[in-house]
Structure 1
């Protein structure tokens, strides 16, 4: 839907208001309800949105180390652009019209703070190189009994998942909460987020779902909206959904694995597939893998954005910390899934469910393209067996502080995303790990359990 078509649709809507949202640096949707007359004007002229959304953390505490915005700038309005192609209706909110936006037409924020604008730049570079990026993010998340007020009042103690025990791929557990799981599948479909599949994972009350693949920007929009939608649908059942990377040290963490491939611009040919190679992986795919592994340690905060993320990346438990790749090997950072031309792709297994999809997908694509641009050879062999124990190519940083310091000083990161973004983003990650200094998992539950 283009702007003109959306304008006509909104004017003819019975609803007098539209729900509008943009993503902050943590991937949290910040939004408002807008009268449809104001929205129609904003479609052509943009919409003022207080730039504090780029000047505070996930708990609304204002950064003290940000240069882009702060008390020293007076928190002016940034000019948001409405992305008409993201229009959809919210079925659990009386089919309320909904649309996303970004700040791609406001240069100050587009270059430094707006994650959707960053992904748009990377996607444009990709197409300029002759590739159509096709992506999908899959999520694992836990579901709990209770409302936000009830769980907050309990001080996040005695959390009760909606099902007991360790029971992956269980048809019994989905039957136990049939109305919730049916709502997830059907309401998400009506919200234009089609799922390829959904099932229980290992752990009490944990689910996994994969969003059907799409062009990278649309895939990131859907990934971001998936998390918010799941939380809202859970509210309807007096449940809470949590995408924390590691809410309980004794249970598996929550992954946000990214599936990706490059096609020709007409999307007729998968450029990762080559039937003439032993593993069906083309030279393009091999260079892409080499780029991912080369850049990963340099830009890790884009895939592991908060202190809790690193509790998941412990070198096992389905979460890799080694710089490894393998053919259909789930213990590696990059799992190459090779088969026919349509299905051949890479699964990047480092990102958690707590990521900002624009940054995670954009970082992954930029890293892969780096390998192609620099024609990096894939010097390491595919790992067979336990990739968690394979240290031959090194490991990723072990804490947010270490990872942020590395990214702040990285020439590769600045080449990929520009100095303005790297500076602002790493300042926000410095703030984040300083808030967590000497804090325990209980503090992380209070901070990340619902909102991330």
Structure 2
């Protein structure tokens, strides 16, 4: 695949002076890339086996504040190191950065065992459960974002208000609007192709300056890696051209939110579909495995929501009539439902529309797999598909309305505790509770505007 490297190819490029730096990266609790810039010669000599970093990096909030109260890392434990072990299968060129390659890494303890709470480890545990049955998970994640005619610095100086959008009216799917944005979007598409992330399409979205780039589906771990590399790379490419991008789930009250629609299927080792081998189009034409997989996701929808919507802001996106789902229902090609069955034959799959573009893909993928396996193992019965406007339905449950609701549901989830591990669930509950507490103690602009003079 274009852009992908092995150690021998890297050695050759280093000798020829084309690569001098290797980014050794791992996803943090938020799904962002953390790591080190390593001299390429030193990477080849030693770091391709392992390097080290402080364990607070998986016990910190989005502001990089060390959060007290984690079991895995704390001041009391001295904030020691953990081991970062590069995954050679992910080594690739980064064409938008001069002389640079990138490799994703697992986070391990000093015995070489995966740290259970590291996002890549959480997903790998669920993939191992699938592998025991001879299955693998195929995923495709579709990320939406807003593009601005601003730099990140000017956006900050404006206090993120009254920003100049790359568009100024609603132009969903409009080719003329995407032509205006093409210098940046084309650079992102070509950059991702050059980094071994095959692009399918890009398109304009509903909001002014809102865009989406879709990538070829692949196995779940590779897709999660691609997802995180893309988010980081898109911001770097925009930054280098004096533009800014946001992946906030709800950037502005009066504009559309940004989603991360996740398409899922299970395949057998021989490359055949494990779930979706029937004609589809009706529940009667769906294999039992397919129906049970969806039923499991419906059953755990509320318990999974924290991993789809990890911030206070995430829940502002769940608005009726906004194309963001508010109901844990399933459908055939109905965008008002939280789960939508699309495609046909080998390409038939289920799309989860609940996550926002702020989700951590490793965690979102992991809980969807765990929920699907729950449905299969318990032989859960799939309720009838919803038809018409799901937003107005009184017969199906809502998705969690707030971060507090989602955390409460996760806390009492026996299924996810068993699938992910108690310590892992407690680690992320602590993360979510800290996020809630940080918001609760802050005075917002809305409070000042409404209360300063009027009370």
Output the TM-score relative to the length of structure 1: 0.92
Give distance in 1, aligned partners of 2:278 and 2:302.
29
CA distance in 1, matches of 2:45, 2:405: 46
Highest relative contact order (Cα 8 Å, sep 6+), 1 or 2? 1
Which has the higher mean CA deviation after the structures are superposed, 254-263 or 15-24?
15-24
Matched residues in 1 for 2:45 and 2:89: separation? 17
**Aligned pair in 2 of structure 1 residues 442, 345: CA closer, same or farther (>3 Å)?**
farther
Deviation at 1:86, TM superposition (A): 0.8
Paired position in structure 2 for 1:411 = 414
Q: Deviations over 1:253-274 (max 9, x none)?
A: 0000100111111113353131
Quote the RMSD (CA, aligned, Å): 2.2
Q: CA deviation at 1:42?
A: 4.1
Shift, 1:229, TM fit: 1.2
Match of 1:358 in 2: 362
Structure 1 residue runs of 5 or longer lacking an equivalent are 444-452
Alpha-carbon shift at residue 109 of structure 1 (Å): 8.2
Q: TM-score, normalised by structure 2?
A: 0.91
Any idea what SS the aligned residue of 1:174 has? helix
1:397 pairs with 376, 387, 400, which one? 400
Alpha-carbon distance, 1:179 to partner:
1.5
**Residues 13 and 361 from structure 1, CA distance in 2 versus in 1: closer, same or farther, beyond 3 angstroms?**
farther
For 1:363 and 1:107, locate their aligned partners in 2 and report how far apart those are by CA, in whole Å. 27
Match of residue 76 from structure 1: 80
Contact 1:137 1:210 in 2 (8 A): yes
* Structure 1 residue 45 displacement after superposition: 4.1
**Residue 137 of structure 2 contacts residue 220 of structure 2 at CA under 8 Å; is this kept in 1?**
yes
Which residue of 226, 231, 254 corresponds with 1:227? 231
Aligned to 2:326: 321
Whether the 8 Å CA contact 2:281–2:332 is kept in 1: the answer is no
In structure 2, the partner of 1:92 is 96
Aligned to 2:440: 437
Q: Quote how far apart the aligned CAs of 1:181 are.
A: 2.1
Aligned pairs for 1:180-191 (under 5 A) are 180-191=184-195
Query: Which segment is superposed worse, 30-39 or 103-112?
Result: 103-112
Matched, 1:126 2:130: yes
Q: Please state whether the residue corresponding to 1:93 is helix, strand or coil.
A: coil
CA distance in 1, matches of 2:132, 2:29: 26
How far apart in 2 are the matches of 1:45 and 1:290?
42
Show CA shifts across 1:109-145 (max 9, x none).
8344200011111111112122121111001110112
For the pair 1:199 / 2:226, whether they are aligned, the reply is no
The more displaced of 281-290 and 385-394 is 385-394
**Alignment pair present for 1:293 and 2:298:** yes
Residues paired across the two proteins, number: 441
Aligned to 1:334: 339
Partner of 2:218: 214
| Unpaired segments ≥5 residues, structure 2 | 447-455
User: Structure 2 CA distance, aligned partners of 1:44 and 1:205?
Assistant: 40
Which residue number in structure 2 is paired with residue 312 of structure 1?
Answer: 317
* Compared CA separation, residues 254 and 25, structure 1 to 2 (3 A): same
